[in-house]
Amino acid sequence: MTCLEAQSNIMAFVDKKLDDEHTKDFVRHMRHCKNCSEELEIYYTLIVGMRQLDNNEELSHNFKKDLDDELTRIDNRAKNVKRFKFSTFGIVFTIAVLGFFLLYSSILNKVYTIEQNMIKTEQGDYYFYNHLSKYIDICNDDVIVRYKELNKPREKSFYERVHSYNITHPVWANGELKEEVHE
């Protein structure tokens, strides 16, 4: 804020009609510019003193101290607003980071669960194959059905049945034809 802008805002400041954005710049300028602060002190003393007289209030004994207190109060209020904004931003940012972390953790947990399920389903087919390959059939055949098929007695061929019959019903005995006894 320039000196001309600050001096043109003195009356608005004394009447407390200066908006917050300009008030902050106005107070900063008055704290650093000796000429403008002297002019503000003169206007403040005259206007506030006349208002106190008009309203039959007790006249202030130290207008300079009252002005400094008012400037300090405004400056502190601006700092508090700034702290509040910074705190609010910090809280919102912290909540956002925490929310992101929880979401990321949840997604990571779901991915881990899916991977573990995939490993478990593949485990039966491939995991023990290196050590138990002669016992494991990688096919999707039913092992029990296959075992029963392998262990069920196979059907004998015609010649095997004839041979079996001849053994149980010998026709030849000691190289001679034996007559069967029919009853």
Per-residue pLDDT at 131: 60
pTM for the full model? 0.44
The 8-class DSSP code of residue 18 comes to: S
Give the phi and the psi of residue 33 in degrees, each rounded to 5: -110, 115
Structure confidence by residue, pLDDT tens digits, 78-87: 788 888 888 9
Per-residue pLDDT at 93: 94
**Which token pair is 150?**
């392998």
Give the phi and the psi of residue 18 in degrees, each rounded to 5: -85, 130
Structure confidence by residue, pLDDT tens digits, 114-152: 988 887 777 665 556 666 666 655 555 566 777 777 777
